[in-house]
C-alpha cells in the first residue's frame, strides 16, 4: 500500500555486515517536501540507512519504496525477488546523494564536474549538460566560479559543487550524509544556508547530521538512531525540547557539554547557541519553513 504523502517508505529493513546486524527492522516514512534529520551516536547505522535509500548498499530483508517505486527488492519471504535494473534505475533517478567527502574530479573544472555525470549517465549533449550544470551552480551561488578547478575553491564551495552535482540530476529527493563534517567551522554556515534554501523551495531532504542547531531549526522530523534501531522520532520540539528517551537525553547532554563555551579560569558558563536548545530552554516553534 502506497502512502502518497511519503516520498520514501521503509518497512522491516534489515541489514548486516557479516554476522553483525547494523539495521534491525527499520520502519520509516520520509514525508514529501519536508526535511528529515537523522541524528544519533557514531556507528548507530545512520549512513547505512541513508545508503540503503539510494541503493548504494543492498539489504537482506524489508522493502524501500521511492515515490511508490520499489528499490532493491520487492515482495517478502519466498516471493521476494531482486528488482530489475530498470526498476532500480527508475527509483534511483529520483534520488540525489551528497557525500561528506565531496569527491570532485581535480582535473575537471567546476562546470565539468557537474556536467560530466549528465553526459555520462543521463546521455545529454555537451551543450545541454553545460546549460543544466550552470543552472545548478547558480542555485548554490557559484555562477562566478564555473571555470575554476576544485583546488582553487574553499571546502564550503567544493561542497556546494557537490550539492549542485546532485541538483543537476533533477532529483525529487536529496540525501545528505554529514555534508558539513569535513569542513572548517567557519565554512559550515554557507553550506547549511544552501540547504535551508533548498528546504524552503520544498525539496524533500534526508540529512544525516551532527549539526543539532540546523536539525532543530530546519527539520520537520527528527529521527534518532541507536544500535541499529530508530530509538526515537518526532518534531524538533519533541526530540530537543524534553525528550522522554534516556538515550536521546544522554546523547544531547553529551553534545551540549562538548558545544558549550566556558570562560576560564573561574568565570560563568557562556551558553553557545546549541546549548540553548537544551530541555528547560525555549523550544523551537515550527520547522523553519515559514
Ligand X SMILES: Nc1ncnc2c1ncn2[C@@H]1O[C@H](COP(=O)(O)OP(=O)(O)OP(=O)(O)O)[C@@H](O)[C@H]1O
Query: What residues make contact with ligand X under the rule CB under 6 A?
Result: 17, 22, 40, 42-48
Binding-site partner at residue 26 among ligand X, Mg ion, none, CB < 5 to 8 Å by type: none
Binding-site partner at residue 88 among Mg ion, ligand X, none, CB < 5 to 8 Å by type: none
What is the spatial distance between Cα 72 and Cα 63, in angstroms, rounded to a whole number? 8
Judged by CB under 5 A, does residue 180 bind Mg ion? no
Look up residue 119 and give its three cell numbers.
553526459
Binding-site partner at residue 45 among Mg ion, ligand X, none, CB < 5 to 8 Å by type: ligand X
Q: Name, in order, each residue with C-beta under 8 angstroms of 97's C-beta and a sequence gap of 6 or more.
A: 50, 54, 56, 166, 174, 175, 176, 177
- Closest to ligand X by CB, 26 or 137: 26
What is the spatial distance between Cα 117 and Cα 221, in angstroms, rounded to a whole number? 31
Look up residue 171 and give its three cell numbers.
532529483
Binding-site partner at residue 44 among ligand X, Mg ion, none, CB < 5 to 8 Å by type: ligand X
Q: Tell me whether strands 173-177 and 204-208 are parallel, antiparallel or unpaired.
A: parallel
Binding-site partner at residue 233 among ligand X, Mg ion, none, CB < 5 to 8 Å by type: none
Least CB distance to ligand X at residue 225 (A): 6
- Closest to ligand X by CB, 62 or 241: 62
Least CB distance to ligand X at residue 43 (A): 4
Look up residue 176 and give its three cell numbers.
545528505
What is the spatial distance between Cα 90 and Cα 78, in angstroms, rounded to a whole number? 24
Least CB distance to ligand X at residue 252 (A): 15
Least CB distance to ligand X at residue 129 (A): 32
- Closest to Mg ion by CB, 162 or 241: 162
Give the interface segment with Mg ion, choosing from 47-55, 66-74, 83-91, 168-176 (CB under 5 A): 47-55
- Closest to ligand X by CB, 50 or 111: 50
Least CB distance to Mg ion at residue 48 (A): 8
Binding-site partner at residue 63 among ligand X, Mg ion, none, CB < 5 to 8 Å by type: none
- Closest to ligand X by CB, 115 or 232: 232
- Closest to ligand X by CB, 229 or 237: 229
What is the spatial distance between Cα 46 and Cα 39, in angstroms, rounded to a whole number? 7
CA distances from 136 to 111, 132, 187, 189, 195 (A): 10, 6, 20, 19, 13
Judged by CB under 5 A, does residue 47 bind Mg ion? yes
Least CB distance to ligand X at residue 134 (A): 33
**Residues in contact with Mg ion, total (CB under 5 A)?**
1
Least CB distance to ligand X at residue 242 (A): 24
- Closest to ligand X by CB, 45 or 234: 45
- Residues of this chain that bind Mg ion (CB under 5 A): 47
Amino acid at each position: 500500500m502506497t502512502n502518497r504523502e511519503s516520498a520514501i517508505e521503509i518497512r522491516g529493513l534489515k541489514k548486516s555486515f557479516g554476522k553483525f546486524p547494523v539495521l534491525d527492522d527499520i520502519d520509516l516514512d520520509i514525508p514529501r517536501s519536508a526535511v528529515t534529520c537523522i541524528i544519533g551516536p557514531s556507528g548507530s547505522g545512520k549512513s547505512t540507512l541513508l545508503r540503503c535509500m539510494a541503493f548504494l548498499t543492498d539489504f537482506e530483508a524489508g522493502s524501500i519504496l521511492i515515490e511508490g517505486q520499489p528499490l532493491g527488492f520487492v515482495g517478502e519471504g519466498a516471493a521476494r525477488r531482486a528488482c530489475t535494473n530498470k526498476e532500480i534505475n527508475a527509483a534511483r533517478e529520483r534520488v540525489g546523494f551528497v557525500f561528506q567527502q565531496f569527491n570532485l574530479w581535480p582535473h575537471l573544472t567546476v562546470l565539468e564536474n557537474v556536467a560530466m555525470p549528465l553526459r555520462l549517465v543521463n546521455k545529454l549533449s555537451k551543450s545541454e549538460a553545460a546549460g543544466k550544470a550552470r543552472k545548478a551552480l547558480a542555485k548554490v551561488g557559484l555562477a562566478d566560479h564555473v571555470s575554476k578547478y576544485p583546488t582553487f575553491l574553499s571546502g564550503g564551495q567544493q561542497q556546494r559543487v557537490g550539492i549542485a552535482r546532485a541538483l543537476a540530476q533533477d532529483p525529487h529527493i536529496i540525501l545528505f550524509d554529514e555534508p558539513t563534517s569535513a569542513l572548517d567551522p567557519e565554512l559550515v554556515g554557507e553550506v547549511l544556508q544552501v540547504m535551508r534554501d533548498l528546504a524552503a523551495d520544498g525539496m524533500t531532504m534526508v540529512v544525516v547530521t551532527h549539526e543539532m542547531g540546523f536539525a532543530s531549526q530546519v527539520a520537520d522530523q527528527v529521527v534518532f538512531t541507536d544500535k541499529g534501531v530508530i530509538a526515537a522520532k518526532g518534531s524538533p520540539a519533541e526530540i530537543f525540547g524534553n525528550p522522554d528517551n534516556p538515550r536521546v537525553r544522554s546523547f544531547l547532554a553529551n553534545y551540549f557539554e562538548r558545544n558549550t563555551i566556558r570562560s576560564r579560569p573561574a568565570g560563568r558558563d557562556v551558553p553557545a547557541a546549541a546549548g540553548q536548545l537544551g530541555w528547560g530552554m525555549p523550544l523551537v516553534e515550527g520547522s523553519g519553513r515559514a
